[in-house]
Amino acid sequence: MLPGLVQSAGSRRIVRIPDESEILQEMDHAAGFGARFVCIGDPDYPPLLKQVDHPPPVLAVIGDEAILRRPAISVVGARNASINGTKIADSLAARIGREGYAIISGLARGIDTAAHRGGIDTGTIGVLAGGLDMPYPPENAALCRDIVNKGGAIVSEMPFGWQPRAQDFPRRNRLVAGMAIGLLVVEAAKRSGSLITARLAGEMGRLVFAVPGSPLDPRAGGANGLLKDGAILTTEASDVLDAVRPLYGDDSYPRQLPLEEQADLSVAAPPQEDERQLVVEALGPTPVEIDEIIRHTGLEPAQVQMVLLELDLVGRLERHSGGHVSLLASQ
């Protein structure tokens, strides 16, 4: 449907869909690497990730896919971490992991590496900014193998052979924040990628935790700032566990974050031109809720979602936290 949707939104860009032989070739390549693809409709797709804006439709996974369904806590922090910082991240991850939570991080140097090592015996998930065959930093390739061998998993939304670029790390951070019910920051400077991840987690409605540090250490400035802004003070694992336990029932789905019902676009009638215009006119530069657009236009949810998808494909739609969208000017 993609070529037709792009044309319906007024774009002259040609979208080419891979044929079946190309798709099977890529799947064979993944299988040869010991990986498989998990799609957003599959039971192994991380349940909380479905709720973020623009969830990746496909994840490449190597390791035990079942761990993706487990309750999870993300741990992030400074790459140039102190000895004490790495010890704290390791011990907190190990303690939280023993309570049944998967530990998620981005496989970076410093705190990420310490968190993975702390959670490796109970199950940890590494999220890559590049393809599964392009771990970064390269010295963590051995850690990736250890994670997989210990029953964890490595995931990426990027294709095989993709060398990570600077702009790919914020994309990776969105997955780190979106896959877990809470995010713990251990050492982070005032201007760091960890704070971006914490902001994303807060916008997604996740719990944000921070370990306090010395005001004399610039690596603690960001974490201390999060505490001033309302992050949960964390000095021991029970600070995290006591906060997240009430959110979970008997399965891996949080009680307070129910999965949203998605409009089934596969059975929706294509929107007519006048219906498409209704949605476009309802949009503007100010973000509005999608539910508001549905009420305002009187259209079926699937019709509204189809028009939004068309606009998204041609770069005219901007998605914001909380299910809000706004219209960008025509290119």
Q: Which domains are assigned to the chain?
A: 1-19+269-331 (1.10.10.10), 62-247 (3.40.50.450)
- Rounded Cα–Cα distance for residues 165 and 161 (Å): 12
Coil, helix or strand at residue 38: strand
Coil, helix or strand at residue 42: coil
- Rounded Cα–Cα distance for residues 148 and 132 (Å): 12
CB 118 within 8 A of CB 85: no
- Rounded Cα–Cα distance for residues 267 and 273 (Å): 18
- Rounded Cα–Cα distance for residues 211 and 218 (Å): 14
pLDDT at 78: 92
Q: What is each CA distance from 1 to 202, 265, 266, in whole angstroms?
A: 34, 10, 10
- Rounded Cα–Cα distance for residues 92 and 235 (Å): 9
Flag residues of the chain having pLDDT under 50. 250, 252-253, 255-262
pLDDT at 269: 66
pLDDT at 315: 79
pLDDT at 211: 95
pLDDT at 164: 92
pLDDT at 117: 97
Do β-strands 153-156 and 58-63 pair in parallel, antiparallel, or remain unpaired? antiparallel
How many CB atoms lie under 10 A from the CB of residue 321?
14
